[in-house]
Amino acid sequence: MSLRKHLINLQLRLFEKTHIARCKDPDKLRRSFDFKAKWFFHPPRGSRFENSILSHNGADVPVLWARAPKLREGPALLYFHGGGYVFGSPQSYSAMLAQLSDRTGLPACLPDYRLAPEHPFPTAVEDALTSYQAIMDHPGGVVIGGDSAGGGLALALLAEIIARDLPKPKGTFAFSPLTDMTFSSDSFANNARSDVVLPAQSADVMAEMYLRGADPRDPRASPLFADFTNAPPVWLAVGDTEILLDDSRNSAAALRKQGVEVTLTEARNLPHVWPLFHGYLPEARQTLDELSGWITALSPPTSDS
C-alpha distances (whole Å) from 281 to each of 94, 151, 271 are 18, 21, 11
Cα dihedral sign for 180, 101, 284, 88?
A: negative
Q: What is the pLDDT of residue 301?
A: 85
Look up residue 70 and give its amino acid.
K
The whole-number average pLDDT for the span 281-302 is 95
Angle (CA) 27-201-82 rounded to 5° is: 50
Domains of the chain (ranges, CATH numbers): 3-298 (3.40.50.1820)
Look up residue 30 and give its amino acid.
R
CA atoms of 242 and 196, how far apart (whole Å): 8
DSSP 61: E
What residues act catalytically?
Answer: 148, 242, 272
Under 8 Å between Cβ of 246 and 275: no
Tens digits of per-residue pLDDT, 96-136?
Answer: 999 999 999 999 999 999 999 999 999 999 999 999 999 99
Judge whether residue 304 has pLDDT over 90.
no
The whole-number average pLDDT for the span 24-28 is 93
The whole-number average pLDDT for the span 209-224 is 98
Cα dihedral sign for 30, 32, 38, 43?
A: negative
Judge whether residue 305 has pLDDT over 90.
no
User: Mapped to the 3 state alphabet, what secondary structure does 114-159 carry?
Assistant: CCCCCCCCCHHHHHHHHHHHHHCCCCCCEEEEEECHHHHHHHHHHH
The whole-number average pLDDT for the span 272-281 is 96
Kindly tell me the burial class for residue 216, based on how many C-beta atoms sit within 10 Å of its own C-beta (0-12, 13-18, 19 or more): middle
Cα dihedral sign for 83, 176, 161, 64?
A: positive
Helix (H, G, I), strand (E, B) or coil at 246: helix
DSSP 268: S
Judge whether residue 1 has pLDDT over 80.
no
Can you give the pTM of this predicted structure? 0.97
β-pair partners for 53: 62
Tens digits of per-residue pLDDT, 124-183?
Answer: 999 999 999 999 999 999 999 999 999 999 999 999 999 999 999 999 999 999 999 999
The whole-number average pLDDT for the span 222-237 is 98
The whole-number average pLDDT for the span 254-278 is 98
